[in-house]
Structure 1
Amino acid sequence: MSRRSLLRGSVAAGATLLAAGCGVPAAYVEEGARAGRDLSARDRTLDFANWPLYIDTDDEDPRKRPTLDAFREETGIAVRYTEEINDNDEFFGKISPSLMNHQETGRDLIVISDWMAARFVRLGWVQEMDRAAQPNVAKNLAAQLRTPAFDPGRLHSVPWQSGITGIAYNRRRLGRELRSTEELWADDLRGKVTLLSGLDESLSLLLQGDGVDVTRWTADDFHAVCERIEGLVRRKHIRRFTGNDYIKDLSTGDVLACQAYSGDVIQLQADNPDIEFVVPEEGAELWAESLMIPNLAQHKSNAEKLVDHYYRPEVAAELAAWVNYVCPVPAAQNVLADSGDEELVALAEDPLIFPDADMRSRLTIMRDIRSDERQEFAKKWNAIVGL
């Protein structure tokens, strides 16, 4: 089961939390109140919260994590690593009371999806990182990921891994190629198409399929997409909306085409070479899940060192070879290509891990759903998902 095979959280829950917490002006933390007492110099530890199945492990002993072990051996900093993030909204609910009340969370480093990271930045709940202490980040971060709208200059966030939300399909069963989002609505796919149920996960691809610039989409664009999708649901063209269980549907042949994540498809292809992944002609979303340092973290300097460790090309390559998502460190491609290992060389040549120039030209980072839009849009989208 891939890391993304764990459900990432419902938009409805996010809307509720937004109304209960994010919409309260008092929740905002001013810049001067975000830093805590940094104990890094005397306490050579840090607490790192991540998603399950999202870091390299030793084949013989899954409790060992080679890239973390190498960091400890090199720096003397021990990492207390927990796989406690199963859902963006659930994790938000877990740590938001502390952040809202100007208390430390017990975590020095967290990984959350960029749409949730945008919420943390807006609320002033994460600290700016010291890039002078992170030369590898400054040098090696992929250009396309450097300036997200929610965090200009990536001052508060650094991508852990990236990925693409595109189209997966079974070419042998379908009997033809798919090259555009518009082709999902062809008559021979009636009842054999699924879309992702999460608004943040599904919207970009659908907007791009309508020719919308997703860096500046409007409420009118959103409602036009909803009108189209509602019609397709009522005509039973769309079979259903899914979490990551589209993997099973696609594997069994119950669906022929679906919205899908690039990392999942790499793993599916190992068992079924008929499965293909497409970045549509109209474009697809390049997303990231990012490392952030919460307010009042007690080991900020240690956390910054760990972030920079993962931006060394050889470390990024080791991680990419295990997780199979889009690597945010392009220089890691040469490390794998020069490894002499047949499987690693193949990964270096895989455009779903290292997109080529043509593919990157069709990838865009969607602007975030603003706080004043989220509740209305989530209600509209969830009504369609529930039809």
Structure 2
Amino acid sequence: MPEIAFSRRAALRGIGAAGLLVALAGCGVPSAYVPEGRRGGPDRSGRDRSVAFSNWPLYIDTDEEDEERRPTLEAFTRKTGIEVSYSEEINDNDEFFGKISPALMNRQDTGRDLVVITDWMAARYVRLGWVQEMDRAAQPNVAAHLDPQLRSPAFDEGRLHTVPWQSGITGIAYNRKALGREVKSVKDLWHPDLAGRVTLFSGLDESFALLMQGNGVDVTRWTEADFHRMCDQVEELVRKKHIRRFTGNDYTSDLAKGDVLACQAYSGDAIQLKADNPDIEFTVPEEGGELWSESMLIPNLARHKANAEALVDYYYDPEVAAELAAFVNYVCPVPAARDVLAASADKETAELAENPLLFPDGELRKRLAVARAVTSEERRSFARRWNTIAGL
């Protein structure tokens, strides 16, 4: 199991490179928009059996004795003859946007065939036309095994341009023993016994959905009024010093050390937190939790599009998906991988099939929702207000 020091959903710290996108956007189509017919280029996949794949650190299986080896990638190469140039260069969505956006704006190859970014950022790439549509006819595993709940997000209807790499749940982690009670609701965070002992995520995109769900909002169709109502509440809690601070991935150390008793948290981190301290619990609130994904996409003018599509489809083979899920411990976007894990002769591996944080059951799924992303028109004013509250 990977270390918990790095959280897969790096917090958005201000408008940053995203401000560039807003600046490009007028009342209509962004000036950097690339129409569908101009996104592709000569595909060298047939004569150059390679693919350049950029991902986040600690987000793929590694060999126990040699962390430089990645068993599933090595198996892909043996199966297809396609060599994978794998880079763990993505540490922050905005930072990576700033790194490759100049090439995409100028309609140049980024040097990458496949990248993994969080869906709220992927929404920007799709809106700008910076992503190529994948050939689903060449991806039978994706067509057969993609989780139905993830098949058609609002920003990419039908998942034509993106495919989830892994998913996760934003919920609440808390120390049940130290708190002396259960946390079942977002409203439970505002109880007087948690004054000064609660943290929220500092990133707008990471924070807002769960907090709105606490107000009974359908986050698949939230409104500007819902956003400002939520901000009013959080602003008042900050004024009263109920919220200790706003965090990035360092929330895990706050909870582990006992500096906080409850916090917004990600399901994948919670598995490791509980392994280190059995008193740590993770809950999806009664009002609901956010189901999010980090997805693979093929940038415009990628030189090995067919090879990238083959790699995407390979990870949707249930056997491969199970191997990856057992290592990274996030929500697997391939439900059929559950049966593979359940059949394992290794007891610890087989038990993963029963973990609802990897394979949410029917009751849990009823409380999960994929939130509507913040639009480019909303982002500037929304981020300004949220960042003022969070002290960014």
TM-score (norm 2): 0.97
8 Å CA contact 2:168, 2:331 repeated in 1: yes
Q: Residue 270 of structure 1 aligns to which amino acid in structure 2?
A: A
Q: CA deviation at 1:110?
A: 0.3
Q: CA deviation at 1:21?
A: 4.2
Say which SS state the counterpart of residue 194 (structure 1) adopts: strand
Equivalent-residue separation in structure 1 for 2:59 and 2:25 (angstroms): 28
Query: What is the match of residue 15 of structure 2?
Result: 12
- Deviation string 1:262-285 (CA, Å, 9 cap, x unpaired) is 000101111101101000000010
Q: CA deviation at 1:343?
A: 1.1
Q: Does 1:28 align with 2:33?
A: yes
Q: CA deviation at 1:386?
A: 1.1
Say which SS state the counterpart of residue 181 (structure 2) adopts: coil
Q: Does 1:102 align with 2:107?
A: yes
Query: What is the match of residue 327 of structure 1?
Result: 332
Say which SS state the counterpart of residue 4 (structure 1) adopts: coil
Equivalent-residue separation in structure 2 for 1:61 and 1:114 (angstroms): 31
Q: Does 1:268 align with 2:292?
A: no
Query: What is the match of residue 159 of structure 1?
Result: 164
Q: Does 1:113 align with 2:118?
A: yes
Query: What is the match of residue 206 of structure 1?
Result: 211
The one of 352, 359, 365 equivalent to 1:347 is: 352
Unaligned segments of structure 2, at least 5 residues: none
Q: CA deviation at 1:15?
A: 4.3
Equivalent-residue separation in structure 2 for 1:82 and 1:247 (angstroms): 26
Equivalent-residue separation in structure 2 for 1:222 and 1:7 (angstroms): 21
Unaligned segments of structure 1, at least 5 residues: none
Q: CA deviation at 1:347?
A: 1.1
Q: Does 1:79 align with 2:113?
A: no
The one of 220, 233, 256 equivalent to 1:228 is: 233
8 Å CA contact 1:9, 1:90 repeated in 2: no
The one of 350, 364, 370 equivalent to 1:365 is: 370
Equivalent-residue separation in structure 2 for 1:311 and 1:250 (angstroms): 34
Q: CA deviation at 1:22?
A: 5.2
Equivalent-residue separation in structure 2 for 1:97 and 1:271 (angstroms): 43
8 Å CA contact 2:12, 2:202 repeated in 1: no
- Deviation string 1:15-56 (CA, Å, 9 cap, x unpaired) is 423334455832000111001100001100010000110000
Equivalent-residue separation in structure 2 for 1:174 and 1:270 (angstroms): 19
Q: Does 1:184 align with 2:189?
A: yes
Equivalent-residue separation in structure 2 for 1:5 and 1:161 (angstroms): 10
Q: Does 1:291 align with 2:296?
A: yes
Equivalent-residue separation in structure 2 for 1:367 and 1:25 (angstroms): 20
Q: Residue 317 of structure 1 aligns to which amino acid in structure 2?
A: A
Query: What is the match of residue 379 of structure 2?
Result: 374
Query: What is the match of residue 58 of structure 1?
Result: 63
Q: Residue 143 of structure 2 aligns to which amino acid in structure 1?
A: A
8 Å CA contact 1:140, 1:329 repeated in 2: yes
8 Å CA contact 2:24, 2:31 repeated in 1: no
Query: What is the match of residue 179 of structure 2?
Result: 174
Identity of aligned residues (%): 68
Query: What is the match of residue 317 of structure 2?
Result: 312
Equivalent-residue separation in structure 2 for 1:338 and 1:221 (angstroms): 45
Query: What is the match of residue 140 of structure 1?
Result: 145
Equivalent-residue separation in structure 2 for 1:132 and 1:7 (angstroms): 33
Q: Does 1:89 align with 2:94?
A: yes
* Most deviating of 229-238 and 23-32: 23-32
* Most deviating of 22-31 and 158-167: 22-31
Query: What is the match of residue 195 of structure 1?
Result: 200
The count of residues paired between Structure 1 and Structure 2 equals 387
Q: Does 1:258 align with 2:263?
A: yes
8 Å CA contact 1:174, 1:256 repeated in 2: yes
Moved segments of 4+, more than 3 Å: 5-9, 19-24
Say which SS state the counterpart of residue 17 (structure 1) adopts: helix
Q: CA deviation at 1:354?
A: 0.6
Q: CA deviation at 1:319?
A: 0.3
Equivalent-residue separation in structure 1 for 2:217 and 2:9 (angstroms): 30
Q: CA deviation at 1:127?
A: 0.3
Say which SS state the counterpart of residue 104 (structure 1) adopts: coil
RMSD: 1.2
Equivalent-residue separation in structure 2 for 1:290 and 1:22 (angstroms): 24
TM-score (norm 1): 0.98
